[in-house]
Each structure stands twice: as structure tokens, then as C-alpha cells.
Chains A and B, each alone.
Chain A
Amino acid sequence: MQEHMADTEQKLEHLFLQKNWQALFNLLVEHYSERLYWHIRKLVLVHDDADDVLQNTFIKVWKNLHKYRGDAQLYTWMYRIATNEALAHLKKQKRLGPEASAPAEINRLQADVYYNGDEMEKQLLAAVAQLPEKQQVVFKLKYFEEMKYEEMSRVLETSVGALKASYHHATNKIKDYLKQH
């Protein structure tokens, strides 16, 4: 697996240096679209939303590929774009008003035919949904993806200390929410 990843990274670097954008983009889609989909899905929950956000993510990747400066791994760079797109989606949903509140978001998830979680899980997701967007992202990446703080720091461009504080606040709020419901 490690060898395969290293091989892919080498191919990507080679195509990038050649400025063969089309081939580079196709390789990125081939290797990373599935992983990015699950990353996005954990943040936005509903399949249709994840599908839209994934599409927007790859449009941005394609449009900015030649501007990529190599200061982070290509995958980390794409992860960052995907996270920002998911965050923008969550904010947009919140702006839509009370219909996009936390319970409404869970109702949408329950209506999603590609979701079959139990009551406990729905309760947890409802608790997470009432958090501010950034705390949601930190909690979901830590809890569902088991992402290390250092990696999360690179993706979210936030200090490890701030991420730990966000996670701590998020867990406390979730506990309070679950006690009340």
C-alpha cells in the first residue's frame, strides 16, 4: 500500500513537472476522488450534498492546478479545497434559515436513502449538527476520520492548540446536548 502510494506520488510529481495538466488531473481523479468523497460526506452527511461538493472541489482543483506551488502534498492541497467547499456548503445551508437548523439537517439525513444509521447515531449527529461549522469540522475529522491533529493542522491551516481547544469545546457541547435530549 505504502509502495503504491509512493509510486502514485512520483507519477503525480512527474506529470506536474511536465505541466501535463490533463493527465495529472485524470490521475488525481482516479486515485483520490473516492477518499475525498468520504471526507466530504462526513462533513455534509447527505449523499446529494456530498456529490455536489465533490464536483465543485474538482472544478476548483482543475482551475487552480497550474497555480499549485508544491508547498504541500497535492492530496493535502485537495483535502484543503474539499474542506473549504464543505464548510462553504454548511454556511450556505445555515444562511437558508430555520429550515436548515440542526434538527432539519438530521431530518434531511433521515430522508437520504443512502443512510441507514440507528437512533443512537442519529442522536450523535444531531448533537454535532448544532455546533458552529468549524467545531463541527474539527470534531468530525477527529472522531469519524481519526485524523491526527498535525495533519488536521495542515489541512485547516490552524494551530494544533486551537484545534485541541475546538475539539474540547465540541465534546463538552455534545455531552450537554445528549444529556438534555
Chain B
Amino acid sequence: MKKHKSFNTPEAYFANKKAALKAIAQEHPTHRRSNVIAFKPYLTGALAAAAMVVLAFFIWPSGEGSPATPQAPGISQIEDEAVLEYLSANASFNEFNYFMVEEEFMEENISLEDEEMMDYLKSQPLDFYNL
């Protein structure tokens, strides 16, 4: 010790202690080494099996009989009503109005008389039709 001369050790302490410390290696085998030795024969097989499972999971065809995994429905499976529900929930979607107008038009079966139609056409200037 640089500023402490008053601390001592038993005689031959360091020689004995070094021998005791070196024995630690025998008394405490490292986990790392023992694990590798214990599992090494099975390691390759286990890795191959894990790889097969992962591959099978991706290769298996989707649809009925495939592993039960949650899947998003295809576009064709979505009902029209569900689409309208979704659109009505999103009020900012402007095309919703278009759908409703078309629906009402079909339901009310609006029809125009021929005369009325002719009157209307006559009232329109010719360049309206780009003829």
C-alpha cells in the first residue's frame, strides 16, 4: 500500500492463496462449456426441425384445411352493406352521397314522358350537344 504500511497478511499468504484461486477453475465449471457439450449432438437436428416447421408454415396453402391462422377477408367476401356501413361511418367520404342518390332514383322509378323530354331538348341550344 502506498500510504499504508500498517496492513499485513499471514505468512506465505499469497503463495497459498494463488493455489486456492487457481482451484476455482476446477470447482466451478463454466455453464457455457457444459451446455455446448451436453447439447451439441442434438443441436443440428433441432435446428433442422425448427427450419422445417417454419418452412411448412409459409408453404401450406391458404383456405380450408390450412392452419388456423387469422386472415383478412378477400375483397369479394366483403358485403355491400358492410361497405355502405363503413362509408356512412366515415361521413367525410363525399361519394357516399352519390350512392344514396342513385339508390333513391332506382327505388322511386322516376320516368319522363316523351313530350316532356322533347320540350326539354328543344329548350337546349344546339351547341350544348357539340354537334
A residues near B (Cβ < 8 Å) are 21-22, 25-26, 29-30, 33-34, 37-38, 41-42, 45, 47, 51, 54-55, 58-59, 62-63, 65-66, 114-118, 121, 143-146
Contacts and interface: CB of A to CB of B under 8 A. Distances in A.
A10 to B, nearest CB: 21
B1 A121 contact: no
Decide if the interface of chain A is mainly helix, strand, loop or mixed.
Answer: helix
Given A58-B21, A63-B28, A114-B8, A144 B3 contact: yes
B1 A59 contact: no
Given A29-B22, A58-B24, 15 more contacts: A21-B25, A22-B25, A45-B7, A47-B9, A54-B21, A59-B24, A62-B28, A62-B30, A65-B30, A114-B7, A115-B6, A117-B6, A144-B1, A144-B3, A146-B2
B40 interface: no
Contacts of A26: 22, 25
Given A22-B25, A58-B21, A42 B1 contact: yes
Contacts, number: 76
B10 interface: yes
B122 interface: no
A37 B3 contact: no
Contacts of B31: 63
B103 to A, nearest CB: 70
Contacts of A22: 25
A143 B3 contact: yes
A55 B18 CA distance: 10
B10 A114 contact: yes
B55 interface: no
A51 B17 contact: yes
A116 B8 contact: yes
21 contacts: A21-B30, A29-B18, A29-B21, A30-B18, A41-B7, A47-B7, A47-B9, A54-B17, A59-B24, A62-B25, A62-B30, A63-B30, A66-B32, A114-B8, A115-B7, A115-B8, A116-B8, A117-B7, A143-B3, A144-B1, A145-B2
B128 interface: no
Contacts of A34: 14
A3 to B, nearest CB: 23
A25 B25 contact: yes
B122 to A, nearest CB: 93
A114 B9 contact: yes
A43 B18 CA distance: 21
Contacts of B28: 59, 62-63
A33 B21 contact: yes
A121 B5 CA distance: 11
A21 B31 CA distance: 13
Residue with the highest number of chain B CB atoms closer than 10 Å, among A21, A25, A42, A58: A58
